[in-house]
Amino acid sequence: MTRRLIVTAIGILALIGGAITYVIQARDGGATENAVPVVSGQPMLLDGKTLFFRNLAPGPDSGKLAAVPVADPGTPRRVGELHCDRFAAAHGTAICLRLKPSSLPPLTEMFVLDANLHERHRETLPGTPSRARVSPDGRIVNWTLFVTGDSYAATGFSTRTGLYEVNTGRLVKTIEELAVFVDGKRYFASDVNYWGITFGADGNRFYATMASKGRTRLIEADYRAYRGTAIAENVECPSLSPDGRRIAYKQKTGPGTWRLAVLDLATHRITHPPESRQLDDQPVWRDNSTLLYPLRNPSGTQDIWSVGLTTAPKLLVPQATSPSVS
């Protein structure tokens, strides 16, 4: 009995000791060298000529906001001190979403930043970061967060999409109150989820995906009137081109699989840029004919690619995600 007790105690102490040791060494964050060349200490500004992204290259600067010139994305990435899980910018305003460290249930910190990337405003919201955008006029920042346990699979997810007016300070935690019309009738359902807002140049017209009862619809909405209409089906994570004529989005091809597609708003014709790989993000328009988007690579991280409406895809920045040009 005594010997059994001693052996058991030794075994348990060894295991707990091992776990504590592991936790302590994990604090140092693994890699001490950056896997790719990184430049720090350089200023980062929203000058309209820069491609911003979340740096995923292993090393001390992994997870930080990084930048390269749009014209020459191959140069070493510049990093500052800002950590962002999702980042987007337009017209001198940026939004940075960051998962709040060790919060269970998870919380997200939403920062509004000015043209020098200094904090203007901060909100703490429930959920984990998924999408972020700034309206072309820089006045409205919006986001989509995953919220767990809000659906009928115990492990299911739902989304919570909200927005914040930078100048007035008006906060809309969820756009689920939007009056939506489907086939001319006001649509009511308890299971409505929205994700992926994109605003037009006027700062009033916006688009978003509404999911309900197993279908996803593209909603075209008027912000001031706060009402919207379903104009298409199977359009997720819409992104409006700068000229307002097209919507790039991820088109569902099967359970858990999507590809890049482009919808012409005038003709409702759907075309596919020459990119057939799995896409799982809201595409970004670099100009009216080029799209940027992250793709998962075999090693499990992501790379940023660009593709023309009819020209072949190019690798832009390896080990990076959440691209934004500003």
Binding mask 162-191 for another protein (x = CB under 8 A): ----------------------------xx
Query: In the bound complex, what is the minimum distance in angstroms from residue 72's beta carbon to another protein?
Result: 27
Query: In the bound complex, what is the minimum distance in angstroms from residue 301's beta carbon to another protein?
Result: 8
Residue with tokens 């075994």: 11
Cα distance between residue 218 and residue 123, in whole Å: 28
Mind giving me the DSSP string for 194-230? EEEEEE-TTSSEEEEEEEETTEEEEEEEETTTTEEEE
Q: Choose the stretch contacting another protein; rule: CB under 8 A; options: 134-142, 150-158, 259-267, 306-314.
A: 150-158
Query: In the bound complex, what is the minimum distance in angstroms from residue 92's beta carbon to another protein?
Result: 29
3-state secondary structure of 288: coil
One residue of 58, 60, 80, 106 binding another protein per CB under 8 A: 106
Residue 51's alpha-carbon distances to 64, 68, 119, 212, in angstroms, are 14, 5, 20, 35
**Interface with another protein includes 198 (CB under 8 A)?**
no
* β-bridge mates for residue 147, sequence order: 158
Query: In the bound complex, what is the minimum distance in angstroms from residue 160's beta carbon to another protein?
Result: 7
Span 207-246, contacts to another protein by CB under 8 A: 213-214
One residue of 59, 92, 127, 238 binding another protein per CB under 8 A: 127
Binding mask 246-275 for another protein (x = CB under 8 A): ---------xx-------------------
**23's tokens:** 């936790």
Total residue length of the chain:
326
**Interface with another protein includes 105 (CB under 8 A)?**
yes
Q: Give whichever of 239 and 321 is closer to another protein, judged by the CB atom.
A: 321
One residue of 19, 171, 312, 315 binding another protein per CB under 8 A: 19
Cα torsion 122, 127, 131, 135 to 10°: value is -40
Q: Of the candidates 35, 126, 115, 135, which has an alpha carbon nearest to the alpha carbon of residue 77?
A: 35
H helices of the chain, in order, are 2-26
**Interface with another protein includes 154 (CB under 8 A)?**
yes
Please report, as ranges, the residues that interact with another protein according to CB under 8 A.
4-5, 7-8, 11-12, 15-16, 18-19, 22-24, 26-27, 29, 85, 99, 101-102, 104-107, 126-129, 146-157, 160, 190-191, 213-214, 255-256, 280, 296, 300, 302, 321
